[in-house]
């Protein structure tokens, strides 16, 4: 039976979210299409405080299959993100997760001049300078900061492979595995720090308009095989009947289409 707050990327897909989650109809929604020509080169303002981060590899604690992606939950301890559009506020890493497609030609949430990437990694942080908990921050307009990284098909990504190797242990919804091998989220970021930034929202319900988005211009490469391991995740619990009419219950195309940027400002820092 469909519950009140049920949502997915299929029958209860993004176009229906607004009926259960009114915030999805707001004017500060994400993702967006990045029109590179529209980006305001705000290099001095943004680079006066360079974006800085610190992620101890022991912070990544659990790998989870929530039924619509994979997610690594962290303990946040000693993690740090500050600078750039975040100015002097200090943010802590809460979790990171990924979006991908059914094929390598789609899968990212943000698009760049109309082009999608094969996937998009999101590192979700919350503002510890102003708020006491993640939940409190998630309701505030300056509460969250998400680093977005585009995934392009190419060579095997070593750090990502540590996650890919654990995914068979969380193949079904609600399965969780403890992470024992250290994973460094910093190694999942590209080797160039140029980024676009704008004010937006969570891309999943309830679509809170609480996110300062920082999207790296440079992508990282993952292999076709690694993406196929992502596509092997199932969106139903072990022991439940496979919804075979829904691509055998595979977690695929877990991205929201771009929302209008409207009159929001898109800024950029760094060239690439
Ligand atoms: Zn996301």
56: domain CATH number is 3.10.200.10
Alpha carbon distance 64, 121 (integer Å): 15
Q: Determine the distance separating the centroid of ligand 1 and the alpha carbon of 249, expressed in angstroms.
A: 20
Take residue 178 and report the two structure tokens written for it: 């403890």
Contact 89, 142 (CB under 8 A): yes
4 lies in some domain: no
Q: Determine the distance separating the centroid of ligand 1 and the alpha carbon of 40, expressed in angstroms.
A: 24
Take residue 99 and report the two structure tokens written for it: 């979006």
Q: Determine the distance separating the centroid of ligand 1 and the alpha carbon of 42, expressed in angstroms.
A: 26
pLDDT band at residue 2 using 50, 70 and 90 as cut-offs: low
* pLDDT 10s digits, 67-126: 999 999 999 899 999 999 999 999 999 999 999 999 999 999 999 999 999 999 999 999
93 lies in some domain: yes
- 10 compared with 17, residue with greater pLDDT: 17
Q: Determine the distance separating the centroid of ligand 1 and the alpha carbon of 162, expressed in angstroms.
A: 20
Looking at residue 8, the DSSP 8-state letter turns out to be -
Q: Determine the distance separating the centroid of ligand 1 and the alpha carbon of 20, expressed in angstroms.
A: 19
Q: Determine the distance separating the centroid of ligand 1 and the alpha carbon of 256, expressed in angstroms.
A: 9
Reference 147, options 206, 75, 79; nearest CA is: 79
Q: Determine the distance separating the centroid of ligand 1 and the alpha carbon of 147, expressed in angstroms.
A: 10
Alpha carbon distance 151, 155 (integer Å): 11
Q: Determine the distance separating the centroid of ligand 1 and the alpha carbon of 36, expressed in angstroms.
A: 21
6 lies in some domain: no
Take residue 29 and report the two structure tokens written for it: 């929604």
Contact 126, 138 (CB under 8 A): yes
Alpha carbon distance 215, 55 (integer Å): 18
Q: Determine the distance separating the centroid of ligand 1 and the alpha carbon of 197, expressed in angstroms.
A: 16
Contact 7, 18 (CB under 8 A): no
Alpha carbon distance 75, 137 (integer Å): 16
Full domain range(s) for residue 208: 14-269
> At 4, phi and psi to the nearest 5?
-60, -40
Share of the chain above pLDDT 90, in %: 89
Q: Report the SS3 class of residue 98.
A: strand
Take residue 106 and report the two structure tokens written for it: 């789609």
3 lies in some domain: no
* pLDDT 10s digits, 23-77: 999 999 999 999 999 999 876 778 889 999 999 999 999 999 999 999 999 998 9
223 lies in some domain: yes
Alpha carbon distance 120, 99 (integer Å): 5
Q: Determine the distance separating the centroid of ligand 1 and the alpha carbon of 208, expressed in angstroms.
A: 13
Q: What pLDDT score does 248 carry?
A: 87
Contact 260, 266 (CB under 8 A): no
Q: Determine the distance separating the centroid of ligand 1 and the alpha carbon of 126, expressed in angstroms.
A: 14
Total of domains in the chain: 1
The count of other CB atoms within 10 Å of the CB of residue 25 is 12
90 lies in some domain: yes
Which helix (H) or strand (E) segment holds residue 34: the answer is strand 33-34
Q: Determine the distance separating the centroid of ligand 1 and the alpha carbon of 50, expressed in angstroms.
A: 24
Alpha carbon distance 225, 74 (integer Å): 26
Q: Determine the distance separating the centroid of ligand 1 and the alpha carbon of 132, expressed in angstroms.
A: 22
What pTM was estimated for this model as a whole? 0.96
């Amino acid at each position: 039976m469909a519950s009140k707050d049920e949502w997915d990327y299929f029958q209860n897909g993004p176009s229906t979210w607004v009926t259960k989650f009114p915030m999805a109809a707001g004017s500060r929604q994400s993702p967006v299409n990045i029109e590179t020509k529209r980006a305001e080169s705000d290099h001095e303002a943004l680079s006066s405080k360079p974006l800085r981060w610190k992620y101890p590899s022991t912070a990544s604690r659990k790998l989870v299959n929530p039924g619509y992606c994979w997610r690594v939950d962290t303990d946040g301890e000693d993690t740090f993100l500050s600078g750039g559009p975040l100015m002097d506020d200090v943010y802590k890493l809460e979790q990171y997760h990924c979006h991908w497609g059914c094929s390598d030609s789609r899968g990212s949430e943000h698009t760049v001049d109309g082009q999608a990437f094969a996937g998009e990694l999101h590192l979700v942080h919350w503002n510890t300078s102003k708020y006491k908990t993640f939940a409190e921050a998630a309701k505030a307009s300056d509460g969250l900061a998400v680093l977005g990284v585009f995934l392009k098909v190419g060579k095997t990504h070593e750090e990502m492979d540590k996650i890919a190797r654990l995914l068979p242990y969380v193949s079904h919804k609600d399965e969780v595995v403890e992470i024992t091998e250290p994973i460094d989220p910093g190694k999942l970021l590209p080797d160039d720090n140029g980024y676009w930034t704008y004010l937006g929202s969570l891309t999943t319900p309830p679509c809170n308009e609480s996110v300062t988005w920082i999207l790296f211009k440079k992508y990282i490469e993952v292999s076709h095989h690694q993406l196929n391991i992502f596509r092997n995740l199932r969106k139903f619990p072990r022991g439940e009947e496979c919804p075979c009419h829904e691509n055998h219950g595979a977690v695929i195309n877990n991205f929201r289409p771009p929302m209008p940027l409207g009159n929001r400002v898109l800024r950029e820092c760094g060239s690439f």
